[in-house]
Chains A and B, each alone.
Chain A
Amino acid sequence: MNPQISSNPATLATTVAGMDAVADRVRPGVEAGPRGSRRRSALSTRNVVIYGVLSVVAIYYLIPLYVMVVTSLKGMPEIRLGNIFAPPMEITFEPWAKAWASACTGLNCDGLSRGFWNSVRITVPSTILSILIASINGYALANWRFKGGELFFTILIVGAFIPYQVMIYPIVIILREMGIYGTLTGLTIVHTIFGMPILTLLFRNYFASVPEELFKAARVDGAGFWGIYWKIMLPMSLPIFVVALILQVTGIWNDFLFGVVYTRPDTYPMTVQLNNIVNSVQGVKEYNVNMAATILTGLVPLVIYFVSGKLFVRGIAAGAVKG
């Protein structure tokens, strides 16, 4: 910009009058210098530190997964060479097939597939059942104040803090007396009950954040306990249901303790079977099969995370954001 022009407003005004296009850019009183949004260099210290740290952390977490995938695709002779980071020279899917269909655990040699279906038959009903009951619990506690409600809630919350180990043996006896010890039904009931405190708390807090007037309006409109639950609360609460779904699916799928205690070998869930495959002491350690079996077992929670990650974040944030 010409300093002579900007220092003389009179000249500027006459010049500008004839040149509208210039007037847009050079206006009296606007000086050269910083203007508009600030430009940042892509290689500023700040960016280098942020992306550097993030990359290091990401690599740190991904290396074990990389080793697992690579190892599972190698044959045993190649593994014995000891280069665990080297990519496979000869890709083979045989370890995956063996892990799924023919790996031996104890007397059975039908691989992880049996455990997978056991886990599905445990996870699906206990997830649905626990979420259904807990959401109704939370709804009743948050919206329908009833006598003893506070006490009931306190007992539930205290329940969340009692260590599981304390209850293992009593539950064994209860299940035995009910005649369902060692069955998938028994384990399903145990998972449903143990999911109750945290899920009820989750739903209660979410429903309590729903404006009370909405609930009142529905009552004036003639909706009852179930009508408000199904038609008003449920459709509004998809994010929190997704959060509960993720918590329950991953929690129940990954459970080992209850699985090993409350089932028999033919009803073992996938995690218990994985442990038996990996820790079997007879014969050669088949690292590639072990790796494949571990990835297979972890696949279900992984898929759930990928599919519902966005909704999960929204659900977690929903409590803090006003609707």
Chain B
Amino acid sequence: MLMTQTRSAPVAAITEPSSVSVRDLRLSFGSVSVLSDLNLEIREGEFLVLLGPSGCGKSTLLNCIAGLLDISDGQIFIKGKNVTWEEPKDRGIGMVFQSYALYPQMTVKGNLSFGLKNAGLPRDEIERRIAQAAEILQIGPLLERRPAQLSGGQRQRVAIGRALVRDVDVFLFDEPLSNLDAKLRSELRVEIKRLHQRLANTMIYVTHDQIEALTLADRIAVMKNGVIQQLDAPQVIYNRPVNRYVAGFLGSPGMNFTDGEIALRDGAAFFTAPGMAVPLHKYRASKGTLQPGPAVFGMRPEHVALNAGADWPFSAQGPCEIVEPMGSDSLIWTQIGGQSFSVRVTSERAPQLGDIVSVGFDPINASIFDAASGERL
């Protein structure tokens, strides 16, 4: 009785064994180090997105977890079992690739059953699983076709189905939507989300598309040069990026960065740049108090208000130099203190080119970074 109570208590959930655990992972090809001392704990049923530009090591990390690359050092645990030396098939994973990687000479059914036949499953069990996967992904009518006769979206569904029939604990997605056009991509994105809600499996998803990351993830790991920069919930990553790299990578249109410095006036902190003095008493510093010194002030375009009056903590005036209509919203480029600055407004409220606009923002939404290290202050 006591046991069950402790287990169901919220505190116990943290100590619950991870679904996937990467410990001190190191991978190098000859003298080139790709990943070093990488640690990652992924909870049961979590949707984790590895986000980063191409060449940042995110796909490499996924391949290491899948067992398709031999790691140089460290350990990988899946479901509490040390799988560091296990073959991919024995790790309890299913994988979906960017290029679909369907076996061209087999029918859809052959593609789905290949892994199950290799595992020596009885025929009726194979049939049952294929029928179930076909039902979930709505690929029933395609079962007798060959991959060449399918469209891109159908191929990727089949590829997901091939992971699905394996009935595994962990799904690995390696940029699964990058080969699809924009419309299909958003459709399948929703479907993957729905799939995750239905199956509640652990999913690790590699992408360079921030929209995919923000919409799908429970947590995002932003990577750069083989190092995880920040690992947190999408909202936290978006609103409180730990460094300038993460701040610039997420968000489209991108964050405004203004170079300047932090100064203390009568004990109150200000961010100052030519023609700009922003009071920072409402800014939540991550480490204690703000110290004077060179800094970069970051502000997302959607947190900037147009036609801001004097009641805003900070407001300034500038010319409207460029208007970029993006459908529902428009991006207005202006200048504050000689540095270009963008504002996102709904299209109806967009000013004319050459108008003098007044912009204002609340420093509570700002991200301030150390100019030298790029770390959040």
Contacts and interface: CB of A to CB of B under 8 A. Distances in A.
Interface of A: 211, 213-214, 216-223, 227, 231-232, 235-236, 323
A222 B98 contact: no
Nearest to B96: A217
A52 to B, nearest CB: 41
B115 A221 contact: yes
Contact of A216 (B97, B102, B115, B119): B97
A214 B101 contact: yes
Nearest to B168: A220
A217 B98 contact: no
B105 interface: yes
Nearest to A323: B104
A232 B103 contact: yes
Given A227-B118, A231-B114, A220 B95 contact: yes
B118 A223 contact: yes
B88 A219 contact: yes
A220 B88 contact: yes
B99 interface: yes
Contact of A236 (B93, B105, B118, B162): B105
A93 to B, nearest CB: 46
Which 3 A-B residue pairings sit nearest by Cβ, starting from the closest? A221-B115, A222-B89, A222-B118
Given A223-B114, A231-B114, A218 B98 contact: no
Contacts of B63: 216
Given A213-B99, A216-B88, 18 more contacts: A211-B101, A213-B98, A213-B101, A216-B66, A216-B97, A219-B68, A220-B89, A220-B94, A220-B115, A221-B114, A222-B115, A222-B118, A222-B119, A223-B118, A227-B118, A231-B103, A231-B114, A236-B105
Interface string B165-186: 0100000001000000000000
Pick the most buried of A214, A217, A222: most chain B CB atoms within 10 A of its CB. Answer: A217
Centre residue among A216, A223, A231 by max chain B CB count within 10 A? A216
Interface residues of B, number: 24
Best-buried of A213, A221, A323 by chain B (most CB within 10 Å):
A221
Interface in B71-102: 87-89, 93-95, 97-99, 101-102
A217 B105 contact: no
B101 A216 contact: yes
Interface of B: 63, 66, 68, 87-89, 93-95, 97-99, 101-105, 114-115, 118-119, 162, 166, 174
Contacts of B119: 222
Nearest to B172: A220
Nearest to B115: A221
A217 B118 contact: no
A56 B94 CA distance: 62
22 contacts: A211-B99, A213-B98, A213-B174, A216-B63, A216-B101, A217-B95, A217-B97, A217-B101, A217-B102, A217-B103, A218-B114, A220-B89, A220-B94, A221-B118, A222-B87, A222-B89, A222-B115, A222-B118, A223-B114, A231-B103, A236-B104, A323-B104
Contacts of B93: 220
A217 B89 contact: no
A213 to B, nearest CB: 4
Nearest to B159: A217
Nearest to A223: B118
A69 B118 CA distance: 57
B169 to A, nearest CB: 14
B146 to A, nearest CB: 12
A221 B97 contact: no
A232 B103 CA distance: 7
Contacts of A219: 68, 87-89
A159 to B, nearest CB: 27
Nearest to B63: A216
Contacts of A232: 103
Contacts of B115: 220-222
Contacts of A220: 66, 68, 88-89, 93-95, 115
Contacts of A235: 105
